Chains A and B, each alone.
Chain A
Amino acid sequence: MTLHRRWPAFTILLAILLTMFATMASGRSLAATETPAAGTMSDAGTLNVTIPVFEAGIPTDPSVFRDLRIFPRIRQIEAKLMPFLLRETLVETGRWGAVRVVTQPEPAAELQLFGTIVRSDGDWLEVHIRAVDATGRTWLDQHFSGQADDRFTEHKDDRFKTEFQALYSEIATALDAVRAEMSDAELSNIGNTSLMRYASELAPSAFGSFVERAEDGTWRALRLPARNDPMFIRIETIRNTEFLITDTVDAKFRELNTSLARTYRVWRDYRRKLVDYETENVRFAEAKPKDAERGSWDSIKHQYDTYKYDRITAQEQDRLAVAFNNEVTSTVDAMEDRVAELDGWVEQGYREWHSLLEDLFEVETYLLEQGN
């Protein structure tokens, strides 16, 4: 066995990989410079927040799309835009650490917000939010709904304000209320548990015994490694590198939001107009000629026209959905390709880091045993 002869090579390879990934991400990261620096452990009282792309809430049965007025492609886009708007709201409060939008849930995140779109028709927005911290404690598990309010978007410089700002602010307030009830020790414990869960996933041989999962699904950090533990330092370096790449992904969501904001607003305005048309259609239906005999031309024509206007309104909405897709598809596709590329890099890097760290642990343990 010549494992001990391989360890310098491992270390060099690890360093090269980390440098490569960090370089790759640093040149493109916008969010990294705009969010608080991600430490390995949060400062007491400030938790880092991770928001995976929302569940679009699209039924599996396509036959109900029309009845529920769901346009799948647009819902998928909304599922990418809404987490970003929530992120902006949380950042603005200044009460959180780094707030990141990610494509996949991160099991070891300090605080993670899972969202599902329940209803989005331009006038009303309803989302379900579940907030879970790294210990497995659920902070929120509830519906939030609100009606569009144009007052929030009157100022041009409010690029990231939405007509549903009140809803996002309500979520932020609800989260803050839970956080306010927690002691610094509890918050610190969440940060430690998050880090040790991350370490135990990346290098289970070294840190698997540092964290424990209870029968009820909650997690607990049993102990912490020494600050100068070389393996722990590597874990911190890797996590920070991963954060850097995540911030690049996050920046892509920001770019997408900027690109689509105007088009999405036009779409939303149209949808609201169509709601007005529907109201007018109902009014038209009620304005049946009073003295028209049943079966007469006036009566029959009114029946036919009432349905005709109703259908034209619905079909106009379909046409607008297609127009929206035509306008944004290339932007969304480009963004999705880039994010998939970044995700691929992270995934590949993670596998390599995991393998290298496990090998390094084996080498170092062997050397330690030899030394003793």
Chain B
Amino acid sequence: MYPTRPQIRPCLSLSLLCTLLGLVGCAHEEPLLIEETKYFDGDMPADFSGSWARDFSRGDDVNKVWQNAYYELARRRGSGRGLAMPSDRDMSMLMPLARLAELITRPDELTISQTEYEILVERRDDFALMCAFYGGVARSTDSSFAKEVCGWDGDRLISVTEFQDGLSVVHRFDVSEDRKQLRVITTVASDTAPMPFTIEHFYWRFNKIAGKYECIETLSMKRVCSTGSLAP
């Protein structure tokens, strides 16, 4: 089981994440993943496979995170002499990150499949995060629009998506020892914003109840179901 999340200030939380991810001062000129986290020996360090449902009793409330971010900016603005109103500019540049983080972390259910080479995190209304490792070496998913690469911090999986225009989205997956719970920390950052925006969610693993019918997807007949076994 995870310990109860300590009430740490966003700056501390952020700096911890930065350290773990190899972010040097959160500067985006530096690589997001330190080289060692891209490699591993033998089997994948952790098994995330399964269906996961959001645990609403734990995790961040986006409004609360926004409030904390506001206080952090106020503290910075006060320069050690207490709090001062953050600038409209800072808030207007942080708001898009908060909206995006809220949008990305909205799905209540995750379906994770894991093979010898790949981990696929399927999310409703969004693309599936893809982590590919061949021979223990991370292989990035390159497109004209972004670069997606994964790595490991111990047995924690880190997925980093770097977009062209200074935007980045980092997901950190952490599964409990008994594989019953999953923690996902999502950080959205941009070089235009005064600070990144991080949301943490927890999930419970659940077994999808096998229905009366066994179904497979086919190309010309779409979904085909049978009461018997449907071996492809």
Task: Write the residues of chain A forming the contact surface with B, with a CB cutoff of 8 angstroms.
Answer: 61-63, 66-67, 262-263, 266-267, 270, 282, 285, 294-297, 299-301, 303-304, 306-308, 310-312, 314-315, 319-320, 322-327, 329-330
Contact = CB atoms under 8 A, between A and B. Distances in A.
B145 A266 contact: no
Given A63-B139, A326-B224, 6 more contacts: A297-B100, A304-B104, A304-B169, A311-B128, A326-B232, A327-B219
Nearest to A262: B220
A322 B217 contact: yes
B145 A310 contact: yes
B221 interface: yes
B160 to A, nearest CB: 13
A310 B100 CA distance: 18
A326 B164 CA distance: 37
8 contacts: A63-B117, A66-B141, A297-B96, A303-B165, A303-B167, A324-B219, A327-B219, A330-B232
A325 B95 CA distance: 45
A319 B217 contact: yes
Given A263-B219, A300-B190, A311-B127, A325 B165 contact: no
B184 interface: no
B216 interface: yes
Given A62-B134, A311-B128, A303 B145 contact: yes
Interface string B209-232: 000000011111100100000011
Interface of B: 93, 95-97, 99-100, 104, 117, 126-128, 130, 132, 134, 139, 141-146, 148, 161, 163-167, 169, 190-193, 216-221, 224, 231-232
Contacts of B128: 311, 315
A109 B169 CA distance: 60
B232 A300 contact: no
B218 A307 contact: no
B232 A329 contact: yes
A262 B141 CA distance: 32
